Amino acid sequence: MSSVSLRGVSKSYGGSVAVRDVNLEISEGEFIVLLGPSGCGKTTTLRMIAGFVDPTAGQILLGGKDVTRLPPRKRDIGMVFQNYALFPNMNVAENIAFGLRRRGAPRETIKARVEELLDLVHLSSQADYHIDELSGGQQQRVALARALAHTPSVLLMDEPLGALDLKLREQLQEEILRIKKTLGITTILVTHDQQEAMALADRIVLMDKGEIRQAGTADNLYRRPASPFVAGFIGKRNEIPADVAGMGDQLIARASDGTILVIGLPDDHPLGGKVTINLRPEHLILSREPGEACSDHTSLSATVTGKRFLGNVVHYELTLPWGEAVLSESRDGDHAVGDSVFVSFAHSDIVMFPEDSAGRRK
Ligand code: ATP
């Protein structure tokens, strides 16, 4: 049985659709990240799971129980918001205890649970601090502890790290992963930051214009994107327009100037006609000597037009027969701007998309 099920869930505001026919099954203990550009419907989806927004259509189940029409307090969830939403007139321990008090839990139970949570979020020595005495990162830990206080079965987080600077965000990501591992709680987090999604998620659900475009592991979305939108949203890519045609008993892809890009596409390759070849920057390999062009590799001449040293990687900009490309190397191959070089890539690293019927490359 799924921990959370969304079945045909939609939400419209007046005539405009915020979320359209979302279907998602989330397993017990899974860490799901709802990812997508601003306005794609991820917060609305989360708020429907929480019960703050009523779906226009569809069903929401938590632990197999239909909660579609239940208010938030009757759902077994804990919620963390971007702006912490803490009570400024209460200290840390009182904030964490708030929900338990409201539920009428015995005093001793509350005390023990608050101590346990303070320990979990590493704030035991700040129990008496007022909220305005804490840093942003510490405030978000209090919010996390408060959301977990009543031992919910699902933790929902809406851009929880959005207000923090990069360093703190990375620290808190580690904390969230540690806590999730310790508690084994099903977690759904909303972010527009693809790196954050990749760092945290067991499964990323990538949304656009109110719909799920692809759901899968970070690895799966990065290596096997289902559409150009997914390929462009998760990571950087080089896009090469090409024409695929038969040559003898092989399929070949040519760039617009006639340069042969790929000889011998795999037998099961369903594409012909106009396509876009997608290659990640790290899949282009730079060398001084031409590589061997064969059925599983391509080697092309290029000129280095830009170089940026970024510490762990070096980014090169290149001019190739079809236009511009970027590539990144984990070790500096010592190429300089203006150098004539060769670029090769393995055909197994290519992801190809067809041009749609309207003539756009999808
Ligand atoms: P962001 O990252 O900017 O928060 P999001 O992906 O979370 O974006 P939503 O907040 O879910 O997107 O909004 C999806 C769409 O629904 C947007 O077009 C938004 O303007 C619209 N929308 C959201 N809430 C309301 C509302 N209360 N009334 C009218 N339209 C709304």
Rounded to the nearest angstrom, the distance between the alpha carbon of 168 and the centre of ligand 1 is 27
Which residue has a Cα nearest atom 24 of ligand 1?
44
What DSSP string describes 269-312? ----EEEEEEE-GGG-EEESSPPPPBTTEEEEEEEEEEEEE-SS
The mean per-residue pLDDT over the stretch 282-297 comes to 80
Rounded to the nearest angstrom, the distance between the alpha carbon of 146 and the centre of ligand 1 is 26
Q: Residue 296: which residues within 8 A CB-CB, separation 6 or more? A: 264, 346, 347, 348
The mean per-residue pLDDT over the stretch 199-215 comes to 97
Rounded to the nearest angstrom, the distance between the alpha carbon of 43 and the centre of ligand 1 is 7
pLDDT in tens, 90-117: 999 999 999 888 888 888 999 999 999 9
Residue 22 beta carbon below 6 angstroms from any ligand 1 atom = no
What confidence tier does 359 reach under pLDDT thresholds 50, 70, 90? very low
Residue 48 and residue 156 in contact, taking contact as beta carbons nearer than 8 Å: no
Is it the case that residue 267 has pLDDT exceeding 80? no
Check residues 259 and 215 and name the one with the higher pLDDT. 215
Check residues 191 and 83 and name the one with the higher pLDDT. 191
Rounded to the nearest angstrom, the distance between the alpha carbon of 39 and the centre of ligand 1 is 5
Q: Return the structure tokens found at 92.
A: 């840390």
Which residue has a Cα nearest atom 20 of ligand 1?
39
Beta bridge partners of 308: 315
pLDDT in tens, 169-178: 898 899 899 9
Lowest-confidence segment of 65-79, 166-180, 234-248, 345-359 by average pLDDT: 345-359
Is it the case that residue 85 has pLDDT exceeding 50? yes
Residue 282 burial (CB count, 10 A):
14
Atom of ligand 1 nearest to the CA of 43: 7
pLDDT in tens, 114-156: 999 999 889 999 999 999 899 888 999 999 999 999 999 999 9
DSSP character at residue 355: B
Q: Give the residue ranges of DSSP H helices in the chain.
A: 42-50, 92-102, 107-120, 136-148, 166-183, 194-200, 218-223, 228-233
Residue 10 beta carbon below 6 angstroms from any ligand 1 atom = no
Percent of all residues in the chain with a pLDDT value above 70, rounded to a whole number: 93
pLDDT in tens, 21-67: 999 999 999 999 999 999 999 999 999 999 999 999 999 999 999 99
pTM: 0.89
Residue 315 parent element (H or E): strand 314-320
- pLDDT at position 216 is 97
Rounded to the nearest angstrom, the distance between the alpha carbon of 143 and the centre of ligand 1 is 23
Residue 191 beta carbon below 6 angstroms from any ligand 1 atom = no
Lowest-confidence segment of 12-21, 42-51, 246-255, 282-291 by average pLDDT: 246-255
* Residue of 11, 19, 44, 213 to mutate, ligand 1, most atoms within 8 A of C-beta: 44
- pLDDT at position 362 is 46
Rounded to the nearest angstrom, the distance between the alpha carbon of 35 and the centre of ligand 1 is 14
Which residue has a Cα nearest atom 5 of ligand 1?
39
Rounded to the nearest angstrom, the distance between the alpha carbon of 18 and the centre of ligand 1 is 6
Is it the case that residue 310 has pLDDT exceeding 90? no
What confidence tier does 361 reach under pLDDT thresholds 50, 70, 90? very low
Residue 80 and residue 159 in contact, taking contact as beta carbons nearer than 8 Å: no
- pLDDT at position 221 is 95
- pLDDT at position 266 is 57
Is it the case that residue 332 has pLDDT exceeding 70? no
Residue 39 beta carbon below 6 angstroms from any ligand 1 atom = yes
Rounded to the nearest angstrom, the distance between the alpha carbon of 360 and the centre of ligand 1 is 28
Is it the case that residue 268 has pLDDT exceeding 90? no
Which residue has a Cα nearest atom 7 of ligand 1?
43
Residue 192 beta carbon below 6 angstroms from any ligand 1 atom = yes
User: What order do you get walking across the sheet with 65-66 strand by strand?
Assistant: 16-26, 4-13, 57-62, 65-66
pLDDT in tens, 227-254: 989 999 998 888 888 888 776 666 777 7
Q: What is the CA radius of gyration of the chain?
A: 25
- pLDDT at position 358 is 43
